[in-house]
Amino acid sequence: MEEEAHAKPKKAMPRQCCVCNQRRAALKRPKTLDQICKECFYEVFEEEIHQDIVENQLFKPGERIAIGASGGKDSTVLAYVLSELNRRHNYGLDLFLLSVDEGITGYRDDSLETVKRNEIQYGLPLKVVSYKDLYGWTMDEIVKMIGLKNNCTFCGVFRRQALDRGAAMLKVDKVATGHNADDIAETVLLNILRGDIARLSRCTAITTGIYSPNAYRGFAREFIKDLERIRPRAILDIIKSGEDFRISTSTKMPEQGTCERCGYISSQKWCKACVLLEGLNRGLPKLGIGRSRGLNTDRNKDVKEISVAKSIESKQCGTLDF
C-alpha cells in the first residue's frame, strides 16, 4: 500500500491526430481545440488559406502581387504558401518579393540573406528598396542624430511608405503582408485604447489600407501575451470582438488626399514622412514627432522647432525626387 501511495502518476498517452487518426498529435490548435499531427496541420492550414482567398475573392487571374518579405517567420510562410497555392490551384498570379532595407547594421543584413534564399527556393523575383535610396538616410544615420528614444517613429513611417513606393516600382496591383493572430489582436486593442473607432471598424478586415504607427504597441503586445498564458484562446477572442463591433455609420475615417511634396497618400498637406525628412535635413530631428521632455532644457529651440513644424505642414512645396 505504501509503495502504491508513493508511485509516480502515469503519464497520459499522446492522443492520435483527430484528422488522420494514424499519427500522434503534435499540437492543439487554439482556433478549433483539435489535436492534430504536423503533416495534417500543414494540409489544413494551406486549405484554410485557399478557402479564404476564394471566398473573399482576394485575387484575379493575371494580377501582379508583391509579397512584403522581411525574412521573418510570417513573411517567409506567406511567400511559401502563396507561391504553392498559386501553382497548385492555378490562380494565374505574377508574384514578386518586395523587401525594405532600413540600413540597420547587423539586423537587416541577415534577414535579407533569408529573403534572397527565398527568391531562389520559390523562384520569385526580388526587389529591394532602401531608405538610403528613397530618403537619403539610413536608420543608423537617423539614430545617430535622433537617438534611440524616437527612432521607431521614423522607421515605422518610412517603412510603410517604402513598401508602397516599391510596389509602385514593380507596378503591382496589390501588396500581400504576413500577419499572425497576435498582430491583429494588438491592433484591435490599440484602436480601443486610443478610442480610434474609425480604424477599429476595419482593422480586422482581410484587406486593409495603411495604419498610423502606434506608441502603445509594445504595451499591448505584453498585455496580450499575459492573457494568452492564462487563456490561450484570448487572442482569437479579441479578434472576434473586433469583427463583431457595431460601428455607427456616422463614424468616418479622415479623408485621404495626396502630399503636396511627394504625392504620397496623406490627410494633411504634407505626409508624415516628408515632415520627418524635412526635420532631418534641417538639423531639427524632433520636427513632426511632437514636444518631448528632453526639449525643456532648451526652451528657445523647442519653440523654434514647433513653429517650424507648423509652417511646414501649412506651406506649399515642390516635388521630391524619390
69 among annotated binding-site residues: yes
The CATH fold of domain 58-176: Rossmann fold (3.40.50)
Instruction: pLDDT band for 304, please (50, 70, 90 cuts).
Output: very low
62 among annotated binding-site residues: no
178 among annotated binding-site residues: yes
pLDDT tens for 167-209 read: 999 999 999 998 888 888 888 887 777 776 666 666 667 776 5
pTM for this entry: 0.71
> Which percentage of the chain shows pLDDT scores above 70?
75
79 among annotated binding-site residues: no
68 among annotated binding-site residues: yes
183 among annotated binding-site residues: yes
For the record, the C-alpha cell of 228 comes out as 494568452
- Give residue limits of the domains in the chain: 17-57, 58-176, 181-244, 257-319
Task: Give the per-residue pLDDT at 305.
Answer: 41
For the record, the C-alpha cell of 192 comes out as 480601443
CA distance 287 to 306: 7
CA distance 228 to 66: 32
The DSSP annotation for 92-159 comes to --EEEEEEEE---TTTHHHHHHHHHHHHHHHT--EEEEEHHHHHS--HHHHHHHH-SSSHHHHHHHHH
